[in-house]
Amino acid sequence: MAVSFLSRGVGLFQLSRRTTTLLSGARCYSQTEPEPLTVKQQHDGIRRIILNNPRKRNALSLSMLESLRENILTDANSDELRVIIISAKGPVFSSGHDLKELTSAQGRDYHTKVFLTCAEVMTLVQDIPVPVIAMVNGVATAAGCQLVASCDIAVATEKSTFATPGVNVGLFCSTPAVAIGRAVPRKVAMEMLFTGTPISAHDALLHGLVSKVVPEERLEEETLSIAKRICEASRPVVALGKATFQRQMAQGRDAAYATTSRVMVDNLALRDGQEGIQAFIEKRKPVWSHKAEKAHD
């Protein structure tokens, strides 16, 4: 709501969240603040991060990546944060890097900073102790496709498409290949990378790039349903499970079983681990502490 006041006869100042207007005599000056590149909202344990630059197809510019990183990291260890949903405003989820930042004029040091920051954000999505869900309604290409592949869960609409078209502009999608090559079969990844040809949402589901494909009108409902189910579980148990899954996937079979066997024992030592078992035995709903406290050594 706008608030108006007079100040020392200078004129009428009208303040709003986005625009400050100075009226002085017959002249009018207006200064509009730029829209934030990302929008962060949180309610009932669910943090919504919205890519908010549809005019530039939600390109993952350095500024966008830094904003996304900040939105993910803020209070990441708070008990109040249980799950993150990343979505986008407009018909494009993300078109990937801003190619205007990748010209020779920017220089090697700047290019290095862009890709190191991008790698940091993608790694952060997988290392943060809460699940991250991509909610996709449109086109996801190059680093945008990489972001989808990096998320723990991805829900997409039927009209969504996914591609790594860098090869067609002379920049092979080598960094997106890290996440995509770990999400889809090798030969599917290689065809995407060598041709740049988009795949449909249903093909993305078939190959494991997304978790679920839904009609556009059900996207919000389905994504929030998954998020709310996650919120019903114990936060430290989910955090332990996510970290362990990522670790064991990089190991050989025998090492993975050794790792996960130790973690199962550690999980049993958690207060919430014992609460869940006791609740099952007593045929009642568990009452989670959401604290990483031990029930025993």
194 pLDDT more than 70: yes
Q: List the strands of the sheet with 139-141, edge to edge.
A: 92-94, 139-141, 161-163, 199-200
What does the alpha-carbon distance between residue 95 and residue 143 come to, in Å, rounded to a whole number?
7
Architecture of the domain defined by 38-231:
Alpha-Beta Complex (3.90)
Helix 271-281, helix 253-269: angle, nearest 10: 80
Of residues 144 and 21, the one with the higher pLDDT is 144
Q: What is residue 188's predicted lDDT score, i.e. its pLDDT?
A: 98
Fold of 233-282: Lyase 2-enoyl-coa Hydratase; Chain  A, domain 2 (1.10.12)
Domain ranges for the chain: 38-231, 233-282
| Residues 196, 167 contacting (CB under 8 angstroms) | yes
Model pTM score: 0.88
DSSP assignment of 221-250: HHHHHHHHHHHTS-HHHHHHHHHHHHHHHT
Interval 33-67: pLDDT, tens = 789 999 999 999 999 999 999 999 999 999 999 99
Summary count for the chain: helices (H), strands (E): 10, 14
Do the domains at 38-231 and 233-282 have one common CATH topology?
no
Interval 140-176: pLDDT, tens = 999 999 999 999 999 999 999 999 999 999 999 999 9
Say which DSSP state 294 is in. B
Exposure string of 124-141, with b = 16+ CB inside 10 Å and e = fewer, is bbbebbbbbbbbbbbbbb
Mean pLDDT of the chain: 91
Positive or negative CA dihedral for 262, 266, 269, 275? negative
What does the alpha-carbon distance between residue 215 and residue 238 come to, in Å, rounded to a whole number?
29
- Closest by CA position to 94, among listed 147, 41, 48: 147
CA distances from 205 to 13, 202, 248 (A): 54, 5, 23
Residue with tokens 């080598």: 174
The encoded tokens of residue 235 equal 């936060």
Q: What is residue 23's predicted lDDT score, i.e. its pLDDT?
A: 37
Q: What is residue 33's predicted lDDT score, i.e. its pLDDT?
A: 75
97 pLDDT more than 70: yes
197 pLDDT more than 70: yes
What does the alpha-carbon distance between residue 241 and residue 239 come to, in Å, rounded to a whole number?
5
